[in-house]
Chains A and B, each alone.
Chain A
Amino acid sequence: MPRLNAGQRHTIQFELNGKSVSGETEPRLLLSDFLRGVLGSTGSHVGCEHGVCGACTVRVNGCAVRSCLTLAIQINGEKVETVEGLAGNDTLSPLQRAFRRHHALQCGFCTPGILMSLSELLDTGTDVNEKNIREFLSGHLCRCTGYGNIVRAALEVFAENRSGRAVSDD
């Protein structure tokens, strides 16, 4: 990485949900602030800015990372996915549909981060059960739901994945 001057602005370019984007950033700008403030991509939320709550979770090159602990400048040239990229054209992904079906969200502030973490887990093909999904989710704080419905939604989507079919939405 080239040496960066604190006061200087740098242009970064990366792929956001499949589209190339670019913008100027100071070296100290957080990825969360860049996405929200510079690009206006406000789907990822900020709940603590110290890496505990998980609301800001996005995927960088497929891996779930906390955008509040990542500098914008670090993702130059990388591939970033956020909650805005989860749904196809006008259709919710199976994970999003399961969340709706199970009332797995209330205020929805923690939800984008949880969805991004779970989407990573889904892609890895990990075998889950209630115990390990709870452990996995313990990296996210939700103050509204008491988690039970999130666990149920997640387990159902993993089960769908295993059996290779989607539970119908209605």
Chain B
Amino acid sequence: MGSKAVPLWGRFLGQAIERVEDAALLTGRGRFGDDLPVRTDTLHAAFLRSPHAHAELGAIEVSGALAMKGVEAVVTGDYAKAHTKPFIAGVKQPMEHYCIAVDRVRYVGEPVAIVVAQDRYVAEDALEKIHVTYQPLSAVVDPEKSITPEAPVLHEAVGSNLVSDRTFVYGAPDEAFLNSDQQIGVTVRYPRNSCTPIECFVVVAEYDPAMGGYDVLANFQGPFTLHSVMALALGVPANRLRLRTPPDSGGSFGVKQAVFPYVVAMALASRLVCRPVKWVEDRLEHLLAANAATGRVTRIEAAVNNEGEVTAFDIDQLEDCGAYLRAPEPASLYRMHGNLTGAYKLRHVRVRNRVALTNTVPSGLNRGFGGPQLYFAIERLMDRIAARLHIDPIELRRRNLVLAEQFPYRCPTGALLDSGDYRRSVDLAVTDGKWQELLCRRNQARAEGRLYGIGCAAVVESSMSNMGYITTVLNAEERARAGPKNGALTIVTVALDPLGSVSVTIDSLPQGQGHRTAISQVMAEVFGIFPEEVTVESGFDSAVAGWSIAAGSYSSRFGPAVAGTAYLAATRLRDRLARLASQHLNVDMEELEFADGKICARDNPANSVPFRRIAGSSHWSPGTLPEGLEPVVRETATWTPPELTSPDSSDRINGAAAYGFIFDFCGIEIDKATHRVRIDHYVTMHDAGRTINPALLDGQIRGAFAHGIGAALLEKFRYDEDGQFLSGTFADYLVPTACEVPDPIILHTESPSPFTPLGTKGAGEGQSMSTPVCIANAVADALGVDDIELPLTPDRVAALMGDDEPPFRATEGK
């Protein structure tokens, strides 16, 4: 055992151990945002929200509300304008986005005023006493319409709803298209949906007039780039915005990124009343105004030869970011930029990226973040090519997959795919997932006159985002001016206490993924102790923890980044403990073994000392440490993958540290009478590198699968033409229940990442990228149609079948 030891794998790492989180959560002892005690003088906030999708904001009459018993204050746009600054975003535009509306409202549900009162009930009563004068303007909810000259302009200072328009060329796409046998394209539209965690947003903010700063508790999920956005909006140095998160968070899937404007809003309210102010979002507010994924209209064309080899893509993406470009947008559009070629080895790409604003809820992080939109286009296209060339869809994909010997593989747009054997994964899925049987099943169903279809999809799942990828939206000159952005700094501290137990502080702000369990496994493996003996702190405090802008749970960074960095910290600490133990046992360091709570000589296990004794010893006797050894009490490891460089001068960007691979196929049946799509058989093959805990990994896959089914069959934020929101309850915005989510067959291969400390890759999102298009391909196959738009609700399926069924809502905008 020494510093050169390779990662251990087996005793605890790689095992599906039970979660350390569960005992508390199963007994009602979770500590979620709304469960934590607050100061007794805390006030409660309620928001008045815009009933208009687009309107000039006139006078706001608040005296009636202020006169009510129990009401302490009303915050309006004037106060926000006087004491905060507009939020910064990824693209510089004269677009002013404050935490509550100033001058104009731009989507239904936009905050207009905040009532602060003794309790929430009173605060909500007072909302009715506020009178706002609006001058309604015409609204636009469709990105294709919003960029036409006739469309109402949301931000007059910007002058247009098109806030970014860039074209990139990689390789020689013109030549490739010229030399190709065929040019095959599709146009697809991806709807706006949201992962809707069951716990809504919670914020408690307290202003400290003495320090001129704020102490805020929020169920924020990162990324901490947004801490800078919040501090700048509040006009305080970052050390005057103390941000804490509760130990438990009721799901997020990216969505709780968007609590940040409310952090600023509550900070502002607490400043006005000089008391703590608490706000708990309700479900209507959440659906109306929290966060939705971007919508995207994509035209994608491929240059193809007659053997089915794709040589170039020409992509035109129009992104709908809602009413404001809110940080980190337009990141949804750029997250996958480095691997716009998906799992395929074509070398030539042209892509035009446009970002449009509409009178709808601002977009933000949602599981998959840009992936579902991109793969919907690519994988629909691959099916179209297969059909046109009469090649089996799996065979077509196989011919184009990046080959095992090409790894690490540099994509034309810049991603460095770390490892994999995509063909082998596909072949294994075909055999183990029983593809041939599925074909028979389809034949049989069709022979019986039933509507049965098969689809597949191949997806590269990027994880651990490069903090610099968003700067690809800027040109090289603008980037130079802004200064370099790159890397993804992760920070983990492992501490030993006087009694020799191990505590770990992580920077991932978990929301249910089981990070505490996984980190316990890493510690147990390295130190030869037991996972249940380790304490992992999941609550986060920016004043105490080590953190960088990369902190948080997003872009599936935990596996590669946080677990990997924890491993680095632990091994460094163990190697220093080995020096102490070597002295104590009079055994060479290389001959020591850490196992079963002891440190012992490998060939003479009787010569041992309890781990705890050595681990605690630096506290008791720092005066007698071996020459040159610092006290062994804690180790903070910081790690950033060197592969995560800034975009180069040709706009190539390696957007992520690790890239997993997923291959899915499924069989679906459409009920001719009800037009419902039933998933009959679903197979998914994952290569997520090394696996820390297979049960946690499967949990991520199953959860993302359910989100994928929601996106495919049910979920869409619906607006009418005037921008009125039609999905304000869980009875209108249907999400999958236990009846709609079958058990997928989950298969695995493991290609360890050469770029991450444990060989792990992230795996939280890929299934949300592959499932929507896999199901769409199957429905297209069942019906023999080309144009598929999600979600495939019964009314839409009926329309595809040419059957009469009234649309979901007669008023739905289009």
Contacts and interface: CB of A to CB of B under 8 A. Distances in A.
B25 A105 contact: yes
B730 A144 contact: no
A103 B695 CA distance: 7
Contacts of A42: 28, 30, 32, 34-35
A146 B706 contact: yes
Given A48-B729, A49-B283, A145 B702 contact: yes
The residue among A82, A109, A142 with the most chain B CB atoms within 10 A of its own CB is: A109
A39 interface: no
Contact of B27 (A92, A103, A110, A145): A92
Nearest to A106: B512
A151 interface: yes
Interface string A53-90: 10100000000000000000000000000111011000
Interface string B723-741: 0000001110001011101
A148 B743 contact: yes
B251 A143 contact: yes
Contacts of B32: 42, 45, 109
A99 B612 CA distance: 32
Interface in B260-275: none
A101 interface: yes
A150 B737 CA distance: 12
Interface in B680-723: 695-696, 698-699, 702-703, 705-707
Given A83-B28, A103-B695, A109 B199 contact: yes
B26 A115 contact: yes
Contacts of B27: 43, 83-84, 86-87, 92, 96
Contact of B28 (A82, A100, A106, A149): A82
Contact of B22 (A105, A148, A150): A105
Given A112-B28, A137-B738, A144 B22 contact: no
A107 B25 CA distance: 8
A141 interface: yes
A37 B248 CA distance: 18
B87 interface: no
B730 A48 contact: yes
A41 B731 CA distance: 28
B29 A143 contact: no
Chain B contact residues: helix, strand, loop or mixed: loop
B770 to A, nearest CB: 14
Contacts of A108: 21-22, 25-26, 30, 248, 250, 512
Contacts of B121: 26, 28-29
Nearest to B708: A146
Interface in B229-269: 248-251, 253
B465 interface: no
A147 B706 contact: yes
Contact of B737 (A83, A106, A112, A138): A138
A123 interface: no
A148 B198 contact: no
Interface residues of B, number: 51
A103 B28 contact: no
Interface string B175-219: 000000000000000000001111110000000000000000000
Given A50-B731, A144-B251, A146-B702, A111 B26 contact: yes
A134 B35 contact: no
Given A55-B198, A134-B738, A145 B703 contact: yes
Interface in B588-611: none
Nearest to B510: A107
Chain A, interface size category, equals: 35 or more
Nearest to B26: A96
Contacts of A133: 738
A21 interface: no
B687 to A, nearest CB: 20
Contact of A143 (B18, B21, B25, B197): B197
Interface string A18-50: 000000001011000000100001111111111
A111 B512 CA distance: 12
A43 B248 CA distance: 12
Contact of A149 (B25, B197, B702): B702
B27 to A, nearest CB: 5
The residue among A83, A133, A143, A147 with the most chain B CB atoms within 10 A of its own CB is: A143
A4 interface: no
A167 interface: no
A45 B512 contact: no
B737 A143 contact: no
A92 to B, nearest CB: 6
A106 B703 contact: yes
A92 B26 contact: yes
B647 interface: no
Contact of A145 (B197, B199, B699): B699
A141 B730 contact: yes
B699 A103 contact: yes
A99 B741 contact: no
Contact of B251 (A50, A83, A96, A106): A106
Nearest to B24: A108
B279 to A, nearest CB: 14
A28 B122 CA distance: 12
Nearest to B514: A106
Given A96-B27, A148-B743, 18 more contacts: A36-B34, A47-B199, A48-B729, A49-B283, A50-B729, A55-B198, A83-B26, A86-B28, A92-B23, A105-B25, A106-B514, A107-B248, A107-B249, A108-B248, A110-B250, A144-B512, A145-B699, A147-B706
Interface of A: 26, 28-29, 36, 41-50, 52-53, 55, 82-84, 86-87, 92, 96, 99-101, 103, 105-112, 115, 133-135, 137-151
17 contacts: A42-B28, A43-B28, A45-B250, A83-B26, A83-B28, A106-B514, A106-B703, A107-B198, A107-B512, A133-B738, A134-B738, A142-B198, A143-B197, A143-B703, A143-B706, A147-B706, A149-B699
